[in-house]
């Protein structure tokens, strides 16, 4: 699915919101965002991989969420370290990144028609992550997630 254009980008200074709709259940989408076996297939922008051994998920408030993406071009590693603030399966995930102060909230809303709306809302987003290039990179990660979820439910994009 493509992003919902009016809701993508900066809603307020330092905030970004991305919306996607998937033909999958909230539970499956929640699991995709919290299970390293799933995350490794799409976490990070195009041109990176995230080995399952580079993903730590302690799925509870106060638990660690860490990913290490590796550049396919030169092998440079990029680590994101966060702490779960709220975990409510299958409806809500919230984590905060202590190094940047950024908080990510993901809601999974069953639309009642076999689809789920996934809204990713980020606050205290560092300026570098708000650039058009960074937002485009994030969108490629969402595209990768779209394709992966579609493959799980037996559909092609």
What is the pLDDT, as a whole number, of residue 128?
87
At a CB cut-off of 8 Å and minimum separation 6, what does 131 contact? none
At a CB cut-off of 8 Å and minimum separation 6, what does 142 contact? 3, 18, 20, 120
Tell me which fold the domain 5-44+87-152 belongs to: Alpha-D-Glucose-1,6-Bisphosphate; Chain A, domain 4 (3.30.530)
pTM: 0.87
Confidence of residue 154 (pLDDT cuts 50, 70, 90): confident
What is the pLDDT, as a whole number, of residue 13?
63
pLDDT tens readout for residues 95-144: 999 999 999 999 999 999 999 999 999 999 999 889 999 999 999 999 99
What is the pLDDT, as a whole number, of residue 119?
98
What is the pLDDT, as a whole number, of residue 83?
98
Q: Express as a percent the part of the chain with pLDDT over 70.
A: 90
- The structure tokens listed for 34 are 């919290």
At a CB cut-off of 8 Å and minimum separation 6, what does 149 contact? 22, 24, 28, 29, 32
pLDDT at 6 over 60: no
Closest CA relative to residue 99, chosen from 131, 66, 75, 74: 66
């Amino acid at each position: 699915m493509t992003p919902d254009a009016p809701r993508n980008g900066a809603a307020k200074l330092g905030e970004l919101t991305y919306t996607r709709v998937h033909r999958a259940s909230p539970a499956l989408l929640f699991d995709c965002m919290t299970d390293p076996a799933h995350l490794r297939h799409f976490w990070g922008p195009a041109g990176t991989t995230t080995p399952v051994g580079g993903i730590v998920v302690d799925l509870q408030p106060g638990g660690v969420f860490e990913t290490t993406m590796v550049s396919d071009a030169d092998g440079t590693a990029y680590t994101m370290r966060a702490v779960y603030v709220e975990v409510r399966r299958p409806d809500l995930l919230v984590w905060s990144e202590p190094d940047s102060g950024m908080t990510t909230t993901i809601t999974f809303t069953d639309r009642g028609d076999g689809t789920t709306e996934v809204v990713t809302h980020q606050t205290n987003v560092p300026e570098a992550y708000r650039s058009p290039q960074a937002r485009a990179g994030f969108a490629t990660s969402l595209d990768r997630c779209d394709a992966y979820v579609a493959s799980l439910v037996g559909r092609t994009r």
